[in-house]
Amino acid sequence: MIRGRTRMALSVGAMLYRSSLSGPVRLMATDTQSVAAKLNSSGLLRSQALIGGKWVDSYDGKTIKVHNPATGEVITNVPCMGGRETNDAISSAYGAFSSWSKLTAAERSKLLRKWYDLIMAHKEELGQLMTLEQGKPLKEAIGEVSYGAGFIEFSAEEGKRIYGDIIPSPLADRRLFVLKQPVGVVGAITPWNFPLAMITRKVGPALACGCTVVIKPSELTPLTALAAAELSLQAGIPPGVVNVVMGNAPDIGDALLASPQVRKITFTGSTKVGKKLMEGAAATVKKVSLELGGNAPCIIFDDADIEVAVKGALATKFRNTGQTCVCANRILVQEGIYEKFANAFAKAVQGMKVGDGFTEGVEQGPLINEAAVQKVESFVEEATSKGAKVLIGGKRHSLGMTFYEPTIVTGVNSEMLLAREEVFGPVAPLLKFKTDEEAIHMANDTNAGLAAYIFSTNIKRAWRVTEALEYGIVGVNEGLVSTEVAPFGGVKQSGLGREGSKYGMDEYLEMKYVCLGSMN
């Protein structure tokens, strides 16, 4: 029953995302430059920033190379910008805010819907661009395009349902109202692991509410953001409503924080950077929403359906090569089925195909860069030095570059880095527990609180453990939990606020109380 209800609750966007992992798609097997040339001819390979509706270079001419992590080849150069360009982008967004916020919700909805339609019409090209700069398998990349576009579609619809309120007045000659109005200019800082979805999840609701945005994508994956911005212009979204700058992250961040014209910061990334942004936003008392790091436990109880648990753990651990904030960072297995699960899980992981994302059948691509590989290596080495055992994998892949073998490590305990910090790579540490209470304690013994997963066929146990877990998201017999119609976000040091769903709209709105007195 639990499994059925969970699956039925998934949105169209989530189903599109899932079907893309196994459904038919036109795959390419070619080199970086030929893919780039094809994308360039389509007009989607942009290599300049967008400020006030114009494509511009950095003012001092500095650039950054964007690499294909699977091959190391340079795709193109993009501007390396700083404070001056960011301040101009802020001014552009501030200038556009007055007219954009005055449009009716229905008018904004029509433009967002056109943007959604264009993204879906170009989902294969956007998927190819994402695989080129980020490395994820093409099927997975195209799945992200559908998933990311879902936030635009949902926001276009939900923006027409931003309601105020009427409060019964204690005085007969007064009327009390609550209005919801756009917060203003939004600074959106996004990561490299989901180059489209992390942008649309912020920009969709921001624009639907009447805000304008300055987007700062990761320097590692700016091209998908620029392509999405190009499509926003083609959709008729006015110049200045969407701006994109990239380059020197500290300088750009400082400009966004210092400007009194920027009224909100929304950020997805590390807890360390999130804390700095939160501190910096205090000077101008900006509204802040943060989706930060996780340390997701995946709890496999002894009454779990092993087949379902293996499938779910595989999906939540190895999607995007383990490079997601909601990846299962720790797999807690009850001692009665520990060996059985470990063997079944190892068999499934051994069957995964690793390679360039454009190659047919590939399920795992490269890590984003050399630093990411070195982090994974150090975590595995630290665990094995303290007694953990590598069941499968545990080293760089024979493909070279930043490819790393899908890995399972057994005998992990709570003192090891693999259990205490995000590995952000294709390494699944298995920890053993005895009782429900021990599993809950192990799961909650962290500063993070983003996502958690439970596998059990006992509905009483599932509800009891779900309520005891200190996490903003809990998947029960399900490894893929993200959808535009549900609130995404964490507790504790995993962040503030929610993205997606009707709750995510409130992050871009201010509440105004109006007291209307007697007119006589």
Catalytic residues: 291
Kindly give, in sequence order, each residue whose CB lies less than 8 Å from that of residue 104, ignoring residues fewer than 6 positions away. none
Sole residue written with tokens 């609130």: 487
- 516/176 Cα distance (integer angstroms): 6
State whether the Cα torsion 197-200-206-211 is positive or negative: positive
CA separation, residue 372 to residues 65, 321, 323, 409, 422 (Å): 18, 11, 10, 18, 11
| Cβ atoms of residues 397 and 359 within 8 Å | no
The single-letter DSSP state of residue 500 is: S
Among candidate residues 150, 141, 159, the one with its CA nearest the CA of residue 120: 150
Would you tell me how many other CB atoms lie within 10 Å of the CB of residue 445? 14
Sole residue written with tokens 């490269």: 366
162 phi and psi, to 5 degrees? -90, 100
Would you tell me how many other CB atoms lie within 10 Å of the CB of residue 438? 14
Kindly give, in sequence order, each residue whose CB lies less than 8 Å from that of residue 313, ignoring residues fewer than 6 positions away. 298, 300, 328, 331, 345, 428, 453, 455, 479
> What tokens were used for 96?
């556009």
Q: 271-281 vs 249-258: helix axis angle to the nearest 10?
A: 30
- 292/272 Cα distance (integer angstroms): 9
| Cβ atoms of residues 408 and 428 within 8 Å | yes
Three-state SS for 193-230 is CCCCHHHHHHHHHHHHHCCEEEEECCCCCCHHHHHHHH
CA 506 vs. chain centroid, Å, equals 19
- 200/116 Cα distance (integer angstroms): 10
> What tokens were used for 488?
């995404």
- 396/61 Cα distance (integer angstroms): 37
By DSSP bridging, strand 328-334 and strand 427-433 are parallel
Among candidate residues 328, 320, 325, 295, the one with its CA nearest the CA of residue 454: 328
